[in-house]
Homo-oligomer: A and B are copies of this chain.
């Protein structure tokens, strides 16, 4: 049952399918305004165009209006190409006549980096939200609907580009209407839309993705992203994509600090932690790529190849050198080449008659140029463990015909990797025409294939998880002080217990005698720690004593801790001392929650100590997580081997660890309003069946 589209989606719909467009700043000169006008006029048969410019009576032979308010009708879309300071008055006119959508090409807003320009943009943003005039830009190149041929952009309609099932959304107009457009056209890859979002004062890439996912003819969303304005909105879009079975393929700047810095100075947006972005992409099946051609070709693969039923890949080539390089890259992308069954092996060897190799990859020498290629490919296609077939050869017309026929008769993805040059242009054109996913680089092909299999695996898991997932336990936490504050170790553990996180046994003592009694109750050895909200780093302050064996040691430790505490933080005077059992054995793990500026609560897990500090060997996911997410996180950590029973040690209680991870995810949701940040460090994971214990913990709450 389709929902009624929101006003925002309706505005986007008008922007991408306008019946009437006004161009404010229309001119005959070859500037942004002139180019926008000419682009719109190219589809004059499909819409009414109104040039607006108080300086002209007519433009390109058309009546030119002085102001929006002078128009005979309310246009669906207004293109704004005026100096930055004149943008707001135009938008105010838009609001007056209830224009649903505007594209602001004009630059001179927050991309300039200074406060004055940022304020200009903030005003624009606020106005859009209040007025209902939804704005694309500023500092963008506009949008193009390739299927209808309507280009509302300062980039000229590119007639070489064919319509197709891939929607392109890009921050950078010069990237979208540059390499991503011309190369797609060269490769015969078609787009449904090209949307450049610019500074995203109002409408964000996620808003357009949201809209495009409702379009039945859009199969894949390809994005060029410099940074998300609102990470949660992107997650919502990514979830929707999984729901509807469409893929998001994304080229995002920011893998290196150099790149993040450049993007930040260019977009004037916080780029956020790239590692958290990667966690989000993994979690929600978003395929991240590295380069323009990757983006186009991976999107094309996802748009046209059916979902694979198995994870193996069968490879055939005329050359052993070519097929071994392909096997190498497929392996690097986590894909396997299952050995041939006897049926295939004998069948292919019979054909090759000694001139080539029946194996996977199959090196079939000159048979690649013969009619027998067909029979060989079919034997590979019928291999039960082959989820896809890669054919790597020149791509002459005769080969193309055989490959297209196979694809038409098969339910498996058939991929072509060309090794040929210009002489194969005819065959390659046929392959493109038939929408066979076509690559010319083993690395790029294998990368796209890795992403393709990962996406389909994620989608399957997503459908399974959706039924099971419960993002919140609905735990009502006890009363806290309002306002930001830091919970001591014991308070933190007490809070964690509400979500079922077990901690060390421990007793608070107010004097040395109480401490000795507590130690007796707990049993020696014990640890002593000062409980003060004025001391964040206890070890640094010298207020921790471990492995105390008897009453004398406890008394001495008590006195020392209190003295050190007062010395370090005079306010800690009078704080109680925590007497705590010592936990033996097990593996030390760190589990934590942080608050990412873009994506909200992020769960982190890693082995304790130097593993985290030296090796950065941690895994992250955005909350809420599923149990499967938790298991995948543990698979990602290289040190997780230590949990599985390393060097003769018993395997650790991984299920209990996963329960804690899920508990923190629930906590992050139940206490969302307080934006909790916490560390359990260490959490000791005891041998299987013996559970876990939080040995130290600290929580920070925000208001």
Contacts and interface: CB of A to CB of B under 8 A. Distances in A.
Interface of A: 107-108, 111, 160, 170-175, 178-179, 181-183, 185-186, 224, 226, 251, 253-263, 265-267, 290-294, 318-325, 327-332, 335-337, 354-355, 357, 359, 361, 363, 365, 394, 419-423, 440-444, 610, 613-615, 617, 638-639, 641-642, 646-647
Given A174-B419, A178-B319, A262-B361, 4 more contacts: A259-B330, A263-B328, A293-B441, A614-B641
15 contacts: A107-B365, A173-B319, A174-B320, A174-B321, A175-B322, A178-B322, A178-B420, A226-B321, A226-B324, A253-B321, A255-B331, A256-B330, A266-B321, A613-B647, A615-B617
A254 B175 contact: no
Most buried by B among A170, A320, A422, A444: A320
A269 to B, nearest CB: 11
Contacts of A293: 441
A440 to B, nearest CB: 8
A325 B253 contact: yes
A328 B441 contact: no
Nearest to A289: B443
A332 to B, nearest CB: 5
A337 B262 contact: yes
Contacts of A265: 357, 359
B336 A258 contact: yes
A175 B421 CA distance: 12
A172 B328 contact: no
Contact of A224 (B256, B321, B361): B321
Contacts of A359: 265
B329 A259 contact: yes
Contact of A327 (B179, B259, B322, B613): B259
Most buried by B among A182, A254, A260, A328: A328
A294 B617 CA distance: 31
Nearest to A317: B174
A97 B171 CA distance: 71
Contacts of A322: 172, 174-175, 178-179
A258 B421 CA distance: 27
Contacts of A331: 255-259
B254 A291 contact: no
A262 B419 contact: no
A259 B442 CA distance: 12
A258 to B, nearest CB: 3
B181 A421 contact: yes
A38 B264 CA distance: 60
A422 B182 contact: yes
B175 A255 contact: no
B186 A262 contact: no
Given A111-B320, A320-B111, A321-B224, A328 B255 contact: yes
Contact of A267 (B320, B337, B422, B441): B320
B328 A254 contact: yes
Contact of A421 (B185, B254, B442, B642): B185
Most buried by B among A182, A258, A423: A258
A267 B175 CA distance: 43
B174 A318 contact: yes
A553 to B, nearest CB: 21
Nearest to A170: B321
Most buried by B among A172, A226, A365, A421: A421
Given A321-B266, A610-B642, A639-B615, A328 B260 contact: yes
A617 B615 CA distance: 10
Contact of A182 (B290, B292, B420, B647): B420
Contacts of A336: 258
B441 A291 contact: yes
Nearest to A339: B261
A663 to B, nearest CB: 27
B185 A262 contact: no
Nearest to A111: B320
